[in-house]
Amino acid sequence: MRARKTAGFALVITLVLLALLVLAVFALSALTRVGSGTSTASVYQTQARQNATLALSVALGELQRHAGDDDRVTGMAGITGVAGNPNATTRYWCGVWRVDGSFVAWLTSGAINATSAGPDTVELIGPGSVGAASSTSPNVEKEHVIAGKIPVTVSDSPGSPGLPARVGSYAYLVTDEGIKLGAYAPPAERAVPAAVPAIGSSMLTNQLRLRTALETNAAVLPSLLSYEQMGLLAPVTPSVLQDCFHYVTLTPRFVAGAQYRSGMININTASTLVWRNLLDTYNTMPAVTPVLNVANRGNLIGNNIAGTTAGKAANAPFTSVVGFATYLATVFPITSSPNFTQILAALGPMLTVRSDTFRIRAYGEALNPADPARIESTAYVEAIVQRTPEPLPGFGRRFVITYFRWLGPDDI
């Protein structure tokens, strides 16, 4: 009897130990799967970031190649007739032209023409930056902006040895920061010491909140590194930055010989908000005859600037401020008060036809080699790029990255 009890107890102990062993094997297997999955996800994320970094490098190279020379003109695609509306996903593309007005390139991956980036695109300015595109109106410009995906291929892969295989994609978008108002212009660099283009009184509630924040926090502005950091200033909220994204930036700088200038605007913009604010800026200058109906006049300049043939070719940029004067005379003729000569006498030193500060947004994705339709990981990066007075033989003046950050999908 005692032997049978001992044998039964041993069997129970054996079964318990066997169960513990099975549980340990199961836990080890689960841990291995988790570790393998984490390792695989890490590999995909690394590949996506590598592709995004590749896109940034290509964008910087294209910017240097096409816009490094002094005799290049830059502007937004709206200047070529791309009208502002919720579906205008290319209106804020940056274009480059020669001083004779001939077109050079769109600084956007996959660009076929001013309205197409091919069949495979990604949004690089979307709801995280500007809010819903459906809210676009003459008063709030909130277009989303796309770029075309460029395939990344390898010579072969485990699934197709000896045959090229697509393992990812990249995309990039360069936007022109010089067509925007600067939130801060260092006094020593100002083209007009007593005035700079600024958010004016003709704006809406959210835009006026940004103006209030800039005025009440003026001492803090020199320490800011990016437009997004203005969100730390009261009473700025995310919606305030979204409503101002397309026409306000931190500090666009322009190269003038061996120096920088700030407090200027590239006139090759179809943004009605920029033109309204320039007229508001004019009205704040001493001893000027004020412009009445600023909103209507600013909208008139911005809405007709693409198609006009006064001072430039239709659907082309201005290549000189003198050419712009011809166009401005159609809005403020010599018989009006004020007339175009009075306005240009005040604003002329603030105006230029090219920019030297740009924003690059780049995208990378990693695909599953067994199923190229499956995107395993994505990455976004942003850089602010500044043209410098330093010459780069064969490529004009050198561009450098002055600000860099990785973005999450919600930042786009």
Residue 200 phi, psi (nearest 5): -105, 180
Residues in the chain: 412
Q: Is 293 left (phi over 0), alpha (psi -120 to 50) or beta?
A: left
Residue 27 has a pLDDT of 61
- Return d(Cα 41, Cα 43) in angstroms, integer: 5
Residue 163 has a pLDDT of 72
Residue 313 has a pLDDT of 97
List, in sequence order, every beta strand (DSSP E) within 252-369: 254-256, 259-261, 265-266, 351-352, 357-368
pLDDT in tens, the chain (412 residues): 555 556 566 667 777 777 677 666 666 665 556 455 455 678 999 999 999 999 999 999 999 999 999 999 999 999 999 998 888 999 999 999 999 999 999 999 999 999 999 999 999 999 999 999 887 776 788 999 999 999 998 876 666 666 778 899 999 999 999 999 999 999 999 999 999 999 998 888 899 999 999 999 999 999 999 999 999 998 999 999 999 999 999 999 999 999 999 999 999 999 999 999 999 999 999 999 999 999 999 999 999 999 999 999 999 999 999 999 999 999 999 999 999 999 999 999 999 999 999 999 999 999 998 788 899 999 999 999 999 999 999 999 999 999 999 999 999 9
Residues 6+ positions from 10 with CB-CB distance below 8 Å: none
- Return d(Cα 316, Cα 391) in angstroms, integer: 28
Residue 165 has a pLDDT of 81
pLDDT in tens, 144-164: 999 999 999 887 666 666 677
Domain chopping of the chain, boundaries: 39-178+355-411
Residues 6+ positions from 125 with CB-CB distance below 8 Å: 92, 143, 144, 145, 173, 175, 245, 361, 412
- Return d(Cα 217, Cα 41) in angstroms, integer: 43
Residue 34 has a pLDDT of 46
Closest CA to 200 of 92, 304, 297: 297
pLDDT in tens, 343-383: 999 999 999 999 999 999 999 999 998 788 899 999 999 99
